[in-house]
Structure formats: C-alpha cells, structure tokens
Amino acid sequence: MEQLMNEKSLNKVMFNVTKPKRYTNKYPLIYSCGDNKFICHEGIFTSEHWAVLDVIGSCINHCKYSGIGTLNKNYSSSKNIFIKGGECRYTTIDFHTIPTNLHNSSVKDISKGVNYKSLVTLKNISMTSDIINPSHYIGATATLRGPILFCFDSTHLKLCSDGLKKYPAKKIDVLINELSQLKVSLMYNVSYYNPERRKYCYDKFLIENPSSFFRILKTEEVNSKTGTIHTFYYIFFDTILGYLYVQNILSCNSNFIESHFYSMSKESQLIFKQIILTTNINHSNSKSLINTSYEKINARLNLKLYTHNLLKNRIDSALNELIENKFIHSYKEVEKGSIEIIGVNKYNENVYNDISDSTSFDLKGVTF
C-alpha cells in the first residue's frame, strides 16, 4: 500500500488558516492552544496545502535515499533533485531502496549536516532576512549545507497520491502557489544527528520574523508532437522554514500515512495530524488513549464552529470517518463535551522499521 511521509514537527505547531468567503483576513492572524503559538502574516494553510507538502517532502526523501537525487554542498542545478513526469519511462521507488532504520549511516551523514552551530547561523540570518544568502553555502567560507532545489512537472503530484488525483492540474497549481505565499512565525523543533552524543537531538528554533516554506519558479513547455502544455515547478528551499523543514524530512522525522488518508474530509485529516499524532503514547499498550474535548479540538484546528451542536456533529462525523478508515480504533463521549479516543499506536511513533517489506511508494509515469 502506498504511503507518504508526514513531517512530525509541523503537526504540533501548524494551524488551519482559511480564507472566509464573506470577509478578508486581517493579518497577522494569531492562534494559540496550550503552549503552541502560531502567527500567520500572509496566506492560508489548509488540509489541502498540507497534503501537497507531504507529497513534496516524501519525494525529496525517497529520491535522496534511493540514490536518484544527490545532495552536495555546491548549489548547482546538476547536483540537486529533479523529477520530471509525463514521459514514457516508468519507475517504482520501493521502501527497500531507502534506509529502514534511523541509525543507517547514510541518514546519520545527511542529518548531521545541520548542528547547533549551523542553527545559530540560521538564527542570525533569520533576524534580517528569510532568504539564505548563497555566501553561506558557496565558497571557502561556507558554513551551511546547500539548500534543496526540487523540480517536478504539473502531473507529478497527482501521480504520487490517491488523495490528489481528484484535483485538476489548475487546482494543484493554485495550491503550490498559495504554499509559496504563506508566511508564518512559530516555534519549530529541528531534528539532527549528533555524532558526539551518538543520538538524534531536537533543538527548538523560534522563527520570529515571517518565513515561507519555499520560493518557486514556474515554466511551461509545449510538446511539439501533441501540443500538450507541461508546467514545471522549480522549488527552492532556501528560506528559513523551508531549510529546517527539509532537514527534518532528511532526518526521517516523520510518520508514514497511507495515501487514502488524503481522500478523507479536511476535519478528519486535521484531527488525525494535530490531535492523534501529537499525543505521547505508552508503548507497553497496543492502543493509545487520548483525552480531549470538542472545544479543544475546535481551538486546535481553528474550525470556526461556534454552536456546540454543529461542532459536535462535525467532529463526530470526522472521528467516525477515521474509524472506518482504521486510523483510530474508537471514541466515546465520557461526559458532556469531553472525548476519549482510542488511537492506533503504529501511527503515533512511526519509524522506518515499522514499515513492512511489501510497502512501496509508486511513482508510475514519472521519469528521473
């Protein structure tokens, strides 16, 4: 069964930001729930944008560790990851071809490319600019690993996930452009391998000034034989948030989620990512117990549902959909407004060796 990578740290800090039909958002938008504080300075971020981001992150990781893409200190187009689709060759990337353990030497080598000193450098950069100047990763005085440049065509995301196949190419084009325009401030957990301590570490990185996931360049090419127009996206992860996001992806700081997940309702997707996956579990049990409430879910997901009955009906429907698709085991209302959810442990702390050998990441119709 096809699975995609969902970067863990984002689940804890991102909020659902929509664009209401009746009025215009007045930025900055400030959201908080518990210890999480999130500021959106520009743009929107919904379950649809998150799905696109998961596909892009999955592709970067799989291409790197399957040997299709390369990652070098020099920031040149020939030494970054390119994917172009719509050609005649067919390729399947299997989980056999990438590390099956976080302690694989290749994962450690890539992950340790970021360390405490480089995070200090990035922090200093973030105080004045969101874009990382090439002088920091090119030349004799370079202190940072070069950021990823990722290229793919307009059909690629649809081929990578069942949940995105329902979208026309124009819709995906809109989602990618909206992702590039999103600017946020947040506290982001960054994962990297520390060779001295021989373990993976987390450092909290406060992004105070507005930052985006990536910059984008779009080009169009016309097939001379068929007249078909292919749109190619060149995505530069040379922003502060984008650089840290790719670091977490390459450090395998991810959960694995079956692709049919992205065909569910937006409420089901958000509850699963922001409530279920962020809950610490007891590994001695086969199931995880999650105590929450309708109001807490509403606050965390920013659903803007003000009447209790409407809120309850919408969340109940989402939870039942998660049960039907086997993403949670069950739930019940223990007292008025309070919910007890029985989760499935394999989703809360997914690592590579949780994945069976029969699992594959299908990229049919994509040429490398």
Instruction: Kindly report, residue by residue over 223-251, the tens digit of the pLDDT.
Output: 788 887 778 888 899 999 999 999 999 88
Q: Is residue 157 part of a domain?
A: yes
Considering only residues 187 and 78, tell me which one the structure prediction assigns the higher pLDDT: 187
Q: Give me the domain span that covers residue 84.
A: 3-259+350-367
> pLDDT class for 289, splitting at 50, 70, 90?
confident
Q: How many separate domains does the chain show?
A: 1
Q: Is residue 267 part of a domain?
A: no
Considering only residues 291 and 350, tell me which one the structure prediction assigns the higher pLDDT: 291
- pLDDT exceeds cutoff 60 at 348: no
Q: Which H, E and C letters describe the chain, residue by residue?
A: CCEEEEEHHHHHHCCCECCCCCCCCCCCEEEEECCEEEEEEECCECHHHHHHHHHHHHHHHHHHHCCCCCCCCCCCHHHCEECEECCCCCEEEEHHHCCCCCCCHHHHHHHCCCCHHHHHHHHHHHCCCCECCHHHCCCCCCCCCCCCEEEEECCHHHHHCHHHCCCCHHHHHHHHHHHHHCEEEEEEEEEEEECCCCEEEEEEEEEEEEECCCEEEEEEEECCCCCCEEEEEEEECCEHHHHHHHHHHHCCCEEEEEHHHHHCCHHHHHHHHHHHCCCCCCCCCCEEEEEEEHHHHHHHHCCCCCCHHHHHHHHHHHHHHHHHCCCEEEEEEEECCEEEEEEEHHHHCCCHHHCCCCCEEEECCEEC
Q: Is residue 107 part of a domain?
A: yes
Q: Is residue 46 part of a domain?
A: yes
Q: What is the pLDDT of residues 140-176, one digit of tens each?
A: 778 898 888 888 776 777 766 677 788 888 888 899 9
Q: Is residue 264 part of a domain?
A: no
- How much is the mean pLDDT over the chain? 79
Greatest mean pLDDT range, 56-65, 149-158, 187-196, 255-264: 187-196
User: What percent of the chain lies above the pLDDT cut of 70?
Assistant: 79
Q: Is residue 112 part of a domain?
A: yes
Determine the pLDDT at residue 99: 54
Greatest mean pLDDT range, 232-236, 257-261, 275-279, 328-332: 328-332
Q: What is the pLDDT of residues 82-116, one digit of tens each?
A: 444 333 222 333 434 445 466 778 888 888 889 99
Q: Is residue 84 part of a domain?
A: yes
User: What percent of the chain lies above the pLDDT cut of 90?
Assistant: 37
- pLDDT exceeds cutoff 50 at 362: no
Q: What is the pLDDT of residues 290-320, one digit of tens each?
A: 889 998 998 888 887 667 788 899 999 999 9
Q: Is residue 270 part of a domain?
A: no
- pLDDT exceeds cutoff 60 at 343: yes
